Amino acid sequence: MNTLIANEIIALRALEPADADVIYRWENDTSHWADSDIIAPYSRQMLTEYIAAYNTDIYSQRQLRMMAVLADTGEPVGLVDFSSFDPMNNRSELGLLIAPLVRHRGYGSHILSLALNYAQNHIGLRQLYALIRCDNEASLSLLKKHGFMRSGILEKWIRRGKDYYDVEILQNVFS
C-alpha cells in the first residue's frame, strides 16, 4: 500500500467514497453510541455526501478523520478522529473506533501508535486528550499503554437514556 502513515500491519488513509458503507455499519451500531455523541442513525446518503465534501485540512476544518486499514489487503478495521483541534494550543481530542469483528487482535495498538506519531510529527500537536467512559476498560487500558495519563473524572458526563455515566479524562502530552 502506498501511504506515508503505515507500519507492517496497519495503514491510515484518507476517507474514500467506498468507505460510506462500512462507516454506515459502524456508526449506526448502537452499541458504540454510549461512547460517542451519536443519538440518531446516519443515512448512507448523508455519509456519502460527508465523504464527498470532506476536506482533510485540519487547520480549516478543526477535524481530521482517517480510515485504518490492513496494510496488506486494504480491509477497513477502524477509524481515527482528531477533533476539536485547537491550533493555538496545539491539542486535539482523539477518537478511535475499532471494528467489532476485529477487536482483540492488537490492531488498536498499531492504529494508536500510528495516530500518535502522525499527530506529533506531522500535525505538530503538543498533546492529545480523550474522554473515555470509566467502565470502558479496554479503551482505558489501550490509551494508558500508549502514554496517556489520567487527568481527572467528569462525573455524570454522558447521558444514555435515563442513566448518566462518568468519564475519565486522559492526556498524552508529548515531550
* pTM to 2 decimal places: 0.90
What homologous superfamily does CATH list for 10-125? Gcn5-related N-acetyltransferase (GNAT) (3.40.630.30)
Strands 10-13 vs 91-98: parallel, antiparallel or unpaired: unpaired
| Residue ranges of domains in the chain | 10-125
Residue 34: CB atoms within 10 A of its CB come to: 15
Looking at residue 34, its pLDDT comes to: 65
Mean pLDDT for 44-59 is 84
Mean pLDDT of 65-89: 96
* Residue 127's pLDDT band (cuts 50, 70, 90): very high
Going across the sheet that includes 64-70, the strands are 10-13, 64-70, 76-86, 91-98, 127-133, 163-173, 149-160
